[in-house]
Chain A
Amino acid sequence: MIIYGALVIPIVAAIYLYLYHREEVQIWKFAVILVFGFGCVIGSKFLVQKVATSDTEYWTGWATVTEYYERWDERVPCVHETCTTTSTNSDGSTNKSCTKDHAYDVDDHPPYWQIVDSNGITVRVGEDDYSGLVKRWGKGPRFVDLNRHYHSIDGDKYVADWPGTDETLEAVTTSHTYENRVQASTSVFNFPEVENPKALGLFDYPGIGGHYTMASILGPSVPGKPEAERKLSLANAKLGRMKQVRMWILIFKDQPSDVAYQQEAYWKRGNKNEFVLVIGIDTKNNLQWAYPFSWTEVESLKIGARNFLEEKKGEQLDLVAVVDWLKDNVAKTWVRKQFKDFSYLTVEPPTWAVVLAYIANIIVTAGISIWAVMNRYTDKPRFDFGGFRSRGRYR
């Protein structure tokens, strides 16, 4: 609430202008200074709150169609003005005669490629992605005439459909923002900031690569990892929309189980749709410990996952078996936490944001004040037509 202290700035500015520049500043300009100043403070408060509570989650689905839109062009109406000098005045200025020609330009639309995923989201991809999918899906693309009103290049589109088999399923990950009030609050549900996450070897979110691909298993290479990654991607794709979930497996090699708690704090228990299973192995890839975390209120799922892995403690990590257990049990029991449950949490802007709001308010108020003084208005009329006088002018 300290941010509202910045409301004093436009009031102080108005008082200053009243005391020292009363003649130059009209009455309505004071209203402009106060209204803009107040608006700036309130706008800053809401903007900072929006930024602080904004978080990114990842949705997973699968490509249902891939499309290629050919290059095409079209006419667009436009007006071109042509001016010619007709005469020169005694003071050197010229008189011009202008005509407006109604014509057209040609807009060129380059080709592009895209996929539409099972969540109904369209993702632009590269030509190679399109070609690769068409090849994997077997059937050649079908031609669709778009009946465009083209100029000289008639571009249409080609569409290839997913044949519906697991082998040809292409997982698609897209990022979306949502409101996460917990991360910006001082609530008991929030986590302390983790210092030096890189030094601790904690994982960042890997990011979406190649337009729509995101790994689901992070950590060192272990036997069976590629197969497990493919299976988990498939499971994430299929359960993504139906169960609103994204599963992660994070593997730490030769680290104590404390690192899992640090990872939980670093990711602030993950996004609202995530189930994260952290696994510790020794240098010979033998399972040492497991720790799942998630915002889901289905505690039995977390305990079940941990118990499943604890029974295999000391054995070689079988990632494929872990993925099989995860997809079966998540499909059966997962329920996503509704983050609207946290709507009661208030968000106090961080100190840097308060300072920024004050600085922005000072700049805006100073700018308007300078404009108000410099852009003076004089009572001296521009014209005097006998009895009629204009009421004043800017100079």
Chain B
Amino acid sequence: MNSKGIFIFIVAIVLLGLVGGGSYISYKNDHVRVHNLAEAQQKANEVTYDKVWKIIQQQAGVTSEYKDSFKEVFLAMTQARYQGDSDNLLMKWVQENNPTFDSSLFKQLSSSIEAQRNEFANEQKKLLSVKQEHDNLVGTFPGSLFLDSAPLEVKIVTSTKTEATFATGKEDDVDLFKK
């Protein structure tokens, strides 16, 4: 090989080296970033889950308290009003204005449960997306040359029922209102 051949060889090697070195640094950095993102997202999921349950529990507590308070007030008022007066009770009941039960708290609770659940599902979806990104990065060429190809372990919160359904591939329990 003469000087021309050596020159071509060197230029090609330098360019390939630049591309390869650049790719190596880029892949290593991406790997660290996506790994850190997954860890942060896993923690964020725990925080969201905690928030979801606290909001739902406390809203349910307020609703339940309202229901009990309403019941107490309503019974006490009715008893006091009709004590010792047995004439025309039904007529009086119909004619008098009675406090009405406000169902909006239950509607609000129902909406809140759905909204919080959706929010948590979105967070879990993001964790899965980050895992997918990580696994693609380490598992496909040329990332697989530089990086440990072990897939990322993440914790996804589901339920025993869901896991059993997917394990068996059967969903027989479709009765929503069991009595």
A interface with B by C-beta (< 8 Å): 1, 4, 7, 11, 14-15, 18, 22, 27, 30-31, 34-35, 38, 42, 186-189, 297, 299-300, 302-304, 307, 341, 344-346
Contacts and interface: CB of A to CB of B under 8 A. Distances in A.
Contact of A27 (B4, B19, B115): B4
Contacts of A189: 125-126, 129
Contacts of B4: 18, 22, 27, 30
B33 A299 contact: no
B115 A299 contact: yes
Chain A binding surface SS class: helix
**Chain B: number of interface residues, binned into ranges:** 35 or more
Given A30-B8, A303-B111, A188 B125 contact: yes
A1 B11 CA distance: 22
Contacts of B111: 300, 303-304, 307
Chain B binding surface SS class: helix
A22 B1 CA distance: 12
7 contacts: A7-B16, A11-B16, A38-B15, A188-B125, A299-B115, A300-B111, A346-B137
Interface in B1-19: 3-5, 7-8, 11-12, 15-16, 19
Contacts of A341: 126
Interface string B98-134: 0000000001000110111011001001101110110
B8 to A, nearest CB: 5
A299 B115 CA distance: 5
A85 B133 CA distance: 74
B136 to A, nearest CB: 7
A31 B107 CA distance: 72
A27 B7 contact: yes
Interface string B37-48: 100000000000
B3 A27 contact: yes
A11 B137 contact: no
A50 to B, nearest CB: 17
B11 A4 contact: no
Contacts of A34: 8, 11-12, 15
Contact of A11 (B12, B115, B126): B12
A341 B122 CA distance: 13
A297 B115 contact: no
Contact of B132 (A11, A187, A299, A302): A187
A42 B3 CA distance: 28
Nearest to B34: A344
A7 B19 contact: yes
A188 B143 CA distance: 21
A30 B122 contact: no
Given A1-B141, A11-B12, A38-B15, A299 B118 contact: yes
B33 A30 contact: no
